[in-house]
Structure 1
Amino acid sequence: MRGLARRRRIADRKECEVNRPISVGVLGLGSIAQIQHLPNLARMESRFRVAAVADISPRLTQRIADRLAGEVFASTDWREVCAHPEVEAVLVLTSGAHEQISQGALEAGKHVFAEKPLCLTVEGAERLHALATEKGLVLQVGYMKLHEELLPDLEEGLNTIGDLRLIRHSVYHPEHSTCLGPSDTLRFDDIDPQAPAEAAAFEERRTRQALGDLPPQWGWLYREVLAASFIHTVSFIRGVMGGIPRLTGADLWPPLPTGSPTEPPSLMARAEFPGHPRVEMSWLWLPATPAYREVFEAHGTRGSLEFRFPNPYFGRTATLVVKSADAAVCHPPGIESAFTRELKVFHRAITAGLSSSDASGAAQDTAFLQDMVATLTRREGLAVGGEAETRR
């Protein structure tokens, strides 16, 4: 009996370790932080405590720190948060790519949750994966769609519809203000212009490393549309299907104007998996459409399924319908949002002592986006360089 009691005490200690709160620093306090991550962290007070915040807007940083529970360290320099002794992990929620801050945090010994895109280069993502693995740290990319509550039901449904013939993922994207809805986010005009200028210069260098010296509108497309939004489609298909399909074609319309475009084009990519299932990925810019829509479909020899995503900012959950010749099974929406569930996964990985990184998957996603640019520019008589050229 004493042996059994001892095992129970050990199990209890492990359970306490798993349930302990993690002290986190939040880097970047814009829309996604204010609408999703900060409220979710507050609701999970048994798992997380915000110990520090940072943003390049001094007033925003202090205002957010004042709103949070307890004593919160505030800075306009993310490096100070990464050096803070109480901070175990950081959430990197700044705009643009997140390579620089993620690397600095890992080098400081902090676990990292980074919003997408992690990097603009394959080399960068692979380097961060190696760094996290070497240091035994968690590096998680914010692909929240892969944490939808009905994802196991989706994967089970894929096994019931026979041999796959077509996978289609469609995004119908309105104006960003429509996506945000009536949210009341704080924003101030006190940013030192040098900070965003330095970040933009870094991203320009990484874009040239990825694609070579293309005209600027192609770098804009790569950073602001493909890496900022289309990457969700690529990562979801990779996660559900267990790999990246081979790109067979890409289209873009209307044509990109010279210089800096004022709004995105629409995009389509065609690909295929071994065994011949075809894949269609479309991202449609529909500024006047009244609501954001996103649908994943799979069609097989014995049935079809449809997975409908919610607006990412509204805290709702996906729905699933699996259809066969005999019946249609409608799965009701889940209870927890994907944003909440991904943070629980992050907490579990840290407290369980796992060395966990999905940056290698992010590297695959980035390579696919580079291949899309190579395909699109070739039709315009342009040749990519950089990493994209090495895979041609």
Structure 2
Amino acid sequence: MATVTNRHRIALIGLGGISQSVHLPLIARLHDRVQLAAVVDLSAQRTAEIADAHGRGIKQFLSVDQLLSSGEKIDGAVIASGGTHAVDAKKLLEAGVTVLAEKPLGYSLAEHKDLANAVDSSGLRVGYMKEYDPASREAKKLLENLHIRSVEVEVLHPADAAQLNFAHLRPAATDVDEAVLAAASKPTKTAIEAAIGGAPGKDIDRFYPNVVLGSVIHDIALLRYLMGGIGTVEEAHHYGDEFPGSLFMRGQLKKHPAPWTLNWHFIAKYPEYQETVTIHHDEGTVQLVFSVPYVLNGPTRLNVVRGLPALGVERTTQTWPQCEAFETEWKEFLDLIEGIPNEASSLDESAADIAVGQCMINALASSLGAPLGPNTEAVITAKGNDTL
């Protein structure tokens, strides 16, 4: 049997839903290029279970500090833990490790500035899988040099079980000491307070990390990737008696004199996650329809409407079932470890997305009658950016 060579030693940090449903299966799929060398999680029980289930010789650690102090050789690390990833990303980059961090990289612009001042971020990528989707990449090509008229985003978000039942996730960890959990959560709380202040009311402290930077940020990043992004946030409203309910937002695009609107709905019993991005332009329509993101090889539909000679109309639908967005993300991450650069989102793009998210939460807080404090990042960002 031939010996497998040129495999990169990877540490997987955070062993929750995204790691179990996406990253671990892809590590197995990319066995010719990846060796899972270490797993890191606050739960010793979970690290042991995952290590035992995914190969021999996988080292187990309870923190990135433990990993780095162990002397274990690591080429790259995927950060998929809860909360901010900026602290661990900084430590890993300082140690010369290439990093792929799940979104959001952080919750404050201060975190991004600290990273920019402290480390070379050329070895950092932020995991916005939609920019690796073949449908998104084709849509970006189609939209080049076109005059955009409007962008409409609709997200139908069911309860997590409707997206993750198939993955048979391991039960939640119960062996993490409360003091350890509190210490691990402190950087996230500090960053969120810097962004929106302490206890702003009206569930703003839940909307910001869980909805705006937990879900809507995918759309913020996608519009940036496709057409230069969001320029202004002019309106944001919440509907529904319970959190998170529904959000409506609107504003203008950054590089086009055209409006964007977003309708985001949490509907617990909706049968399946769906996200639709419809872009009308001077010559027709480009539409992306995304399905459950955690189901690998569930293809995005690219619907295109365009004119033909003699007043004809062509309507096409394309899918790429053999090309998985997360897998492409992994392959380009491995290329980056090998010194092959790419233009995927990194520190600057993440900071730009956080700034848009802060403008969104500032507008939402105002509409809910719970305006943020004048010294919060979100207010300062909103006042300082007529165009983001």
After TM superposition, the score normalised by the length of structure 2 is 0.88
Q: Which residue is 1:377 aligned to? A: 365
The whole-number CA distance in structure 2 between the counterparts of 1:21 and 1:104 is 23
8 A Cα contact 1:126 1:360, kept in partner: no
Structure 2 counterpart of 1:386: 376
Q: Which residue of 1 aligns with 2:186?
A: 201
| Distance in 1, Cα, partners of 2:117 & 2:227 | 24
Is 1:290 paired with 2:271?
A: yes
1:232 aligns with 2:218: yes
Which residue matches 1:351? 338
Q: 1:52 to 1:308 in 2, by over 3 A?
A: same
Shift in Å, 1:240: 1.1
1:313 and 2:294 matched: yes
Residue number in structure 2 paired with 1:323: 305
8 Å Cα contact 1:132/1:138 also seen in 2 = no
Paired residues of 1:20 and 1:351 also in contact (CA < 8 A)? no
- The yes-or-no answer on 1:149 pairing with 2:129 is no
Higher alpha-carbon deviation: 138-147 or 96-105 = 96-105
1:64 aligns with 2:50: yes
Partner Cα distance (1:278, 1:33) in 2: 36
AA of the residue aligned to 1:367 = A
Kindly tell me the number of residue pairs found equivalent between the two proteins. 365
- CA RMSD after TM alignment: 2.1
Higher relative contact order (CA 8 A, sep 6+): 1
After superposition, what is the alpha-carbon deviation per residue over 1:170-206, rounded to whole angstroms, capped at 9, x for unaligned? 1100011111123212234222222322233322221
SS at match of 2:87: helix
Q: Which moved more, 1:282-291 or 1:185-194?
A: 185-194
Q: Using the alignment, how far apart are the partners of 2:379 and 2:248 within structure 1?
A: 21
Alpha-carbon distance between aligned partners in 2 of 1:251 and 1:37, rounded to the nearest angstrom:
35
Judge which range, 98-107 or 32-41, deviates more.
98-107
Q: Describe the SS at the equivalent of 2:134.
A: coil
Superposition map of 1:224-303 within 5 A: 224-254=210-240, 263-273=243-253, 274-303=255-284
Q: Give the letter aligned to residue 268 of structure 1.
A: F
* 1:133–1:355 Cα contact (<8 Å) kept: no
What's the secondary structure of 2:15's corresponding residue?
coil
| Helix, strand or coil at the partner of 1:245 | strand
Q: What CA distance in whole angstroms lies between the structure 2 residues aligned with 1:144 and 1:381?
A: 33
CA distance in 2, matches of 1:147, 1:133: 23
Q: Is the 8 A contact 1:305 1:323 kept in 2?
A: yes
Q: Would you say the 8 A contact 1:132–1:139 is kept in 2?
A: no
Unaligned runs of 5+ in 2: 308-312, 384-388
Q: Deviations over 1:256-315 (max 9, x none)?
A: 7xxxxxx41311221212442111122111111111111111011221121111201111
The 2-side partners of 1:64 and 1:79 are apart by: 20
- Which of 28, 42, 49 is residue 14 of structure 2 equivalent to? 28
Runs of 5+ consecutive residues of structure 1 not aligned to the other structure: 1-18, 257-262
Aligned residue number for residue 366 of structure 1: 354
Per the alignment, residue 78 of structure 2 pairs with 91
Q: Distance in 2 between matches of 1:329 and 1:69?
A: 44
For each residue in 1:40-91, what CA deviation from the matched residue of structure 2 results, as whole angstroms up to 9, or x when unmatched? 0111112211111111111110111112223111122222223433112111
User: Is 1:109 aligned with 2:57?
Assistant: no
Out of 332, 341, 349, the residue aligned to residue 319 of structure 2 is 332
Counterpart Cα distance in 2 of 1:206 and 1:381:
20
Distance 1:353 1:150, change over 3 A: closer
In structure 1, distance between residues paired with 2:316 and 2:55 = 44
1:45 match: secondary structure:
coil
